[in-house]
Amino acid sequence: MTTNTNSGGFRGRVREVLLAAVRGLVLALVMPAISILCFVLTAVSVALIPTGLGILTTPWILGGVRDVADVRRRLAYEWCGVRIPSAYRPVPANANPWTRTLALLQDPQVGRDVLWLLVDMTAGFVTALLPAVLVFYPFEGFALAAGLWRTMTGGPYGKYGPYWYGFVPVSGQATAFAAAGLGAVILVAAYRYAPALLTVHFKLTRAVLDTGQGELVERVRVLTETRKDAVDTSAAELRRIERDLHDGAQARLVAMGMDLGTIEMLLDKDPEKAKQLLAQARQASVEALGELRDLVRGIHPPVLAERGLGDAVRALALRLPVPTEVTVDLPGRADAPVEAAAYFAVSEVLTNAVKHSGADRIWVDLHHVPEGTGMLRISVTDHGRGGAVIGAGSGLAGVERRLGTFDGVLAVSSPAGGPTMVTMEIPCALS
């Protein structure tokens, strides 16, 4: 079994090395030509701006440069896992050509793109070609040892002088074997370093393209989305409260008022009937009070405000039909909005587990990681059927949006057959 595993690992590594060589060769042969073309077109178009023609062509050409850079960003992530952020400034959609041209020329990211074209056709070409050279160059050394040296040197007497393979002057069979030895050394280096060299190429690309503002742009985008989600969630919550009040407690209170009016008329005429309606009104008041308590608990549970997140989750677990074990290690309390978000996120995850997992036991762990700015970490685990995913319209997607409002994250591990583990993290400090 060990031999098969090692063999599979060797084959996988060889495939990875060959892929790096082929991809590097494609980048070295194709992309620099595109970069040269884009740079020349950009230079000519910018030079023509004073004539007026460049005002029309520059936005179109710089858009093409952006497309080329975006392709390289995508390849960097897909091939080597290197993320290259972009931070392009928005250009007014209905702006005139001069405004668009000026906006693009003042965009730092566009300037980086043009600078990258120069780097890509020089240092980028070398770093992309290196993996291919390391992988394919050794085969020339092997071919020399197999007899190719006779053709390359013009015969056994070296009519045309020695043929240099690397630093080895090949002039006979012995030196041809030396070339093969050098080729073997290079091939071993390729086996070890070729994929890393391709990664170096993309890291060079990132060093040039990254303006340092990509993280800020991504942060603004995430905050914009989470703010919209928070507003939508709040509006939906208000509609739910309005609906629950209208269909529940309000309807019962209206009915109770009508019963009391009837009781007033029946007190003298039919005391027995009035007594029955009074008992009915009392029961309606109890039910209305219960519904109001449930509604208040759904808005902000009193135990959460009074006792904190740990006890609120314990109280929540006691109401579940599935035995739930809660472990809490929180030396303090988070801000009220964070506690509320965490509580309702746990509530949603537990509801999903009860409805869909088929588990007969659930474990909840809450603890705070003090490193850095601090992190509230919550995990909910069950040994049910598994298969939980974060999908559009699912309860977990709603949890993810709720946590995103506080820069929180949600991770789900749920293989088919279980177990399922849902982990939630929210950056926060405890008081």
Whether 146 maps to a domain, the answer reads yes
**Between residues 425 and 218, the one the model is more confident about:** 425
Q: Does residue 382 belong to any structural domain of this protein? A: yes
Per-residue confidence at 122, pLDDT binned at 50, 70, 90? very high
Instruction: Identify whether residues 389 and 419 lie together within a single domain.
Output: yes
Residue 3 in this model has a pLDDT that exceeds 50: no
In angstroms, the CA 372 to CA 377 distance is 14
In the chain, the amino acid numbered 412 is V
CB-based burial of residue 239 (10 Å sphere; 0-12 exposed, 13-18 middle, 19+ buried)? exposed
With a cut of 80, say whether residue 392 has pLDDT above it: no
Among 299, 322, 354, the domain-final residue is 299
* E strand residue ranges, 257-361: 324-329
Residue 386: which domain range?
Answer: 304-427
pLDDT at 225: 62
Q: How far is CA 223 from the centre of its chain?
A: 14
Of the pLDDT bands very low, low, confident and very high (cuts 50, 70, 90), residue 60 is very high
- Of 188, 183, 199, nearest to 27 by C-alpha is 199
Q: Per the domain annotation, does 221 fall within a domain? A: no
Please indicate, yes or no, whether residues 289 and 333 belong to a single structural domain of this protein. no
Mean pLDDT to the nearest integer, 131-136: 94
* Residue 419 within any structural domain of the chain: yes
Is the pLDDT confidence value at 24 over 90? yes
Mean pLDDT of the chain: 83
CATH number for the domain harbouring residue 253: 1.20.5
Rounded average pLDDT over 177-188: 93
pLDDT of the residue at 156: 47
For residue 329, tell me if it sits in a domain.
Answer: yes
Q: Which of 299, 314, 336 is the last residue of a domain?
A: 299
**Residues 72, 200: one domain?**
yes
| 261 and 169 in a common domain | no
CA-CA distance, 396 to 402, in Å (whole number)? 10
State whether 21 and 57 are in the same domain: yes
Q: Are strands 362-369 and 409-413 parallel, antiparallel or unpaired?
A: unpaired
Which CA distances in Å does 171 have to 129, 138, 177? Answer: 28, 18, 11
Q: What is the pLDDT of residues 203-214, one digit of tens each?
A: 999 999 987 665
- Helix and strand counts by DSSP (H, E) for the chain: 14, 7
User: Is residue 235 pLDDT above 90, yes or no?
Assistant: no
Q: 405 or 128: which carries more pLDDT confidence?
A: 128
Checking if the pLDDT of 369 tops 70, the result is yes
- pLDDT for position 2: 43
In a domain, 224, yes or no: no
Q: At what angle do helices 53-80 and 2-47 cross, to 10 degrees?
A: 170
- pLDDT of res. 1: 41
Residue 336 and residue 281 in one domain: no
Q: Mean pLDDT over residues 149-161, rounded?
A: 63
| First-last CA distance in the chain | 54
Into how many domains does the chain fold?
Answer: 3
Do 309 and 292 share a structural domain?
A: no
CA separation, residue 378 to residues 343, 363, 407, 425, 431 (Å)? 10, 11, 15, 6, 18
Overall average pLDDT of the 310-327 stretch? 89
Q: Residue range 389-404: average pLDDT?
A: 75
Does one domain contain both 255 and 352?
no
Chain segment 410-422, per-residue pLDDT in tens: 888 888 887 889 9
Q: What is the pLDDT averaged over residues 285-304?
A: 67
Domain shared by 31 and 149, yes or no: yes
Partners of residue 427 on adjacent β-strands: 375
pLDDT at res. 221: 61
Q: How confident is the model at residue 417, as a pLDDT?
A: 81
Residue 260 falls within a domain, yes or no? yes
Residue 223: inside a domain: no
Of 185, 212, 239, the residue that ends a domain is: 212
User: What's residue 380's pLDDT?
Assistant: 92
131, 161: one domain: yes
Say what the pLDDT of residue 35 is.
Answer: 93
pLDDT over 70 (residue 32): yes
Pair 78, 203 in one domain: yes
pLDDT at 246: 62
Nearest to 84, CA basis, from 104, 64, 63, 70: 70
pLDDT band for 183, please (50, 70, 90 cuts).
Answer: very high
Percent of the chain with pLDDT strictly greater than 70 = 82
Based on the fold, state whether residues 198 and 340 are members of the same structural domain. Answer: no
Q: What pLDDT score does 105 carry?
A: 92
Cα gap 120→201, rounded to integer Å: 9
Mean pLDDT of 214-227: 61
pLDDT of residue 157: 45
